[in-house]
Structure 1
């Protein structure tokens, strides 16, 4: 049994790096004191660093991601230090980073012994592609952690079955989905994607969203979502596939969804479930079988 913490993360204004660091440390300590072994924050949680920029920079969409690049390294060291300090697995949300003249939406994963690597978002939304000039990354990675093998699908990536399937083929039993959506419809698209990926691949999916209003940020101005832990609806699992779901609404403070997950019970579904969607996924499906 492992204890997971997914943050329903309210976007707040922290006008210095030190203020942000105190906020993140306090937030993570709260989860650790509740026994959490894995902590997940949402997509673009690192962009909250733009609060430390002057008001002109942080209110400009492109200048805000350019301006925080000088803070990426100390942010990285902060997150790595927190994971080491408390002996936890920490995915502190994603952050825009510059790579070879392009921006990527990157999610690092930290463990008790340091950085375990990163996953870039692969498929970009219209806003990222058309307005923000952020490029999609390449490749999917499975991370070996003290808690098990896991993968990361950043927000929109969770809506594409082939990505989660690739992770399942790499032996992943838990997928982390940091998300950032500015409408209820957007939140439900990601949540439905999370539940569908859990069903198809008979694994667990943990989602952490942004919530609240941030008029000072053109990228994080409005946010809707609920944190959740989802599993395949099958023997020994909840009949609706929902292990836990945070309270509805749009709170002005960040809140953790703390939930326990028995990964062995999830794995047993692979061999003893009512259905075998993970096994029965057609690797070489003949399209002619669909012909009328």
Structure 2
């Protein structure tokens, strides 16, 4: 298992597209750019796939419900594209999230992970925002999982999921040392809620937490019209790590990759020898609550 990782997190703009070929060319250029920067693992944001809605008529991409239905015709081409790119550039790709319709008619906000060997896996978002539940009618997933990679198991805590400690804690208990947080937030407050959640999860689990946001405006889309955030990788706040727990952070408002080098041996060391041992001491709180 690899002990270091060069991770690329996208600060991604949702552009209006003229054709599927335009989308494929855009994504291929993004992946190639990260590859040329020697990245080993890529992450795109939550709902970055909503740019595909612009390939339909205005009455479709202007409707919250109609765009979800229309996007299902592009789900298989989406899977095929990222499968090819992961194989071609020999790196795992977390392709943000895609709203997938299940056989029972429900929609799930699904984060797909593509591996260089042609296999793929996913984690559905578990905690839905009010907008997703009340206006967009997207349903929560049911399972907390980890996804296997050559860099060990990783957890995916999509946007709002990162604000709930027990979701990420379960992924850490299942072996994840890296939590990927694809996000899509329209206000600075929303971005900061996710950012603070990411930093808290990194601190309390002594793990890496990486965030990838959508940025900029897509006024044609009622779902992702305004996008705010900065990509970053957060760490424990302890020996061998930054004093503020921020390993790298992307520039505000600029599109492109934020790339950080992760050292998993350093994580294991701080879990053994840190000034504090959050990872080990987690269960103390449950013992104290049981004893009340």
Same-fold call, TM cutoff 0.5: yes
1:167 to 146, 165, 171: 171
- Report whether the alignment pairs 1:120 with 2:127: no
Residue correspondences, number:
287
Instruction: Kindly state the Cα deviation for residue 285 of structure 1 after the two structures are TM-superposed.
Output: 2.1
Contact 1:198-1:230 at 8 Å conserved across structures:
yes
- Report whether the alignment pairs 1:150 with 2:126: no
Q: TM-score, normalised by structure 2?
A: 0.96
Report which stretch shifted further, 254-263 or 127-136.
Answer: 254-263
Partner of 2:261: 260
Partner of 2:51: 48
2:83 to 80, 84, 96: 80
Instruction: Kindly state the Cα deviation for residue 17 of structure 1 after the two structures are TM-superposed.
Output: 1.3
Structure 2 unmatched runs, 5+: none
Instruction: Kindly state the Cα deviation for residue 264 of structure 1 after the two structures are TM-superposed.
Output: 1.1
2:139 to 131, 135, 142: 135
- Report whether the alignment pairs 1:287 with 2:289: yes
Give me the whole-angstrom Cα distance separating, in 1, the residues matched to 2:43 and 2:219. Answer: 24
Give me the whole-angstrom Cα distance separating, in 2, the residues matched to 1:116 and 1:67. Answer: 23
Matches within 5 A, 1:1-292: 1-99=4-102, 100-248=104-252, 250-251=253-254, 254-282=255-283, 284-287=286-289
Query: What is the RMSD computed on CA atoms of the aligned residues?
Result: 1.1
SS in 2 for 1:68: helix
SS in 1 for 2:119: strand
Give me the whole-angstrom Cα distance separating, in 1, the residues matched to 2:105 and 2:119. Answer: 24
Contact 1:15-1:53 at 8 Å conserved across structures:
no
Contact 2:14-2:50 at 8 Å conserved across structures:
no
Instruction: Kindly state the Cα deviation for residue 159 of structure 1 after the two structures are TM-superposed.
Output: 0.2
Cα shift readout 1:69-119 (whole Å, capped 9, x = no counterpart): 100000000011100101101001001010121000000101111233100
Give me the whole-angstrom Cα distance separating, in 2, the residues matched to 1:196 and 1:276. Answer: 14
Give me the whole-angstrom Cα distance separating, in 2, the residues matched to 1:146 and 1:80. Answer: 16
SS in 2 for 1:101: coil
Give me the whole-angstrom Cα distance separating, in 2, the residues matched to 1:164 and 1:223. Answer: 24
Structure 1 unmatched runs, 5+: none
Give me the whole-angstrom Cα distance separating, in 2, the residues matched to 1:282 and 1:260. Answer: 30
- Bigger strand share: 1
Give me the whole-angstrom Cα distance separating, in 1, the residues matched to 2:259 and 2:272. Answer: 28
Contact 2:11-2:258 at 8 Å conserved across structures:
yes
